Amino acid sequence: MDTIIENELVRELANTHGRSRESLMPILQDLVVHNRFLSKQDMIDVARELDISAADVYGTATFYSFLDTEVRGKYVIRICKTISCAMKGKNEILGTIEEILKVKLGETTPDRKFSLLEANCIGWCHKAPAMLINDTPYTELTPRKVTEILREYIKN
Partner 1 sequence: MSSQHVKRVDLIFEKIECRDVLKKIVDMEPDAISQEILDSDLKGRGGAGFPTGLKWRFAAKEKESIKYIICNADEGEPGTFKDREILDQVPGKVFCGMAIAGKAIGAKMGYVYLRGEYKFLIPKLNKELIEFHKTMDEFNQNFRIQIRLGSGAYICGEESALFESMEGKRGEPRNKPPYPTTSGLFGKPTVINNVETLVHTVMIMNYGAAHFRELGTKDSRGSKVFSISGDTPKAGIYELELGMTVDEFVNDFGDGDTKAVQVGGASGFCVPRKKFDETIIGFEGVPTGGSMKLFNSSRSMYNVLHNYLDFFTEESCGQCTPCRVGCQQLLKGVEAVKQGEKNSKYLDELVKLAKTMKRASKCGLGQSVGNAFGSIVENFKEEIIY
**Rounded to whole angstroms, how far apart are CA atoms 111 and 7?**
25
Is 147 near partner 1 (CB under 8 A)? no
Q: Which positions ≥6 away from 102 have C-beta within 8 Å?
A: 109
**Does residue 71 touch partner 1 according to CB under 8 A?**
no
Q: Based on the shown chain and the rule CB under 8 A, indicate whether residue 24 belongs to the binding site for partner 1.
A: yes
* C-alpha radius of gyration, the chain, whole number: 17
**Does residue 39 touch partner 1 according to CB under 8 A?**
no
Q: What's the CA gap between 6 and 20, in Å, rounded? A: 20
Residues near 75 by beta carbon (within 8 Å), at least 6 away in sequence = 113, 114, 115, 133, 134, 153
Helices (H), the chain: 2-17, 24-35, 40-50, 54-61, 83-87, 90-101, 143-155
Nearer to partner 1, 3 or 15 (CB): 15
Q: Out of 7, 69, 84, 147, name the contact with partner 1 by CB under 8 A.
A: 84
Residue type for 77, please?
I
Among 47, 72, 124, 146, binds partner 1 (CB under 8 A): 124
Among 101, 128, 146, 150, binds partner 1 (CB under 8 A): 128
One of 132, 141, 146, 150 touching partner 1 (CB under 8 A): 132
Report which of 77, 39, 78 is spatially closest to residue 61, judged by C-alpha positions: 39
Q: Is position 111 an interface residue for partner 1 (rule: CB under 8 A)?
A: no
Quick check: helix, strand or coil at residue 139? coil
Q: Closest distance between partner 1 and the C-beta of residue 4, in Å?
A: 26
Q: If binding is defined by CB under 8 A, does position 65 make contact with partner 1?
A: yes
Specify the residue, 99 or 106, whose C-beta has the smaller distance to partner 1.
106
Binding site for partner 1 (CB under 8 A): 20-26, 28-29, 59-60, 63-67, 81-84, 86-87, 119-128, 132, 135-137
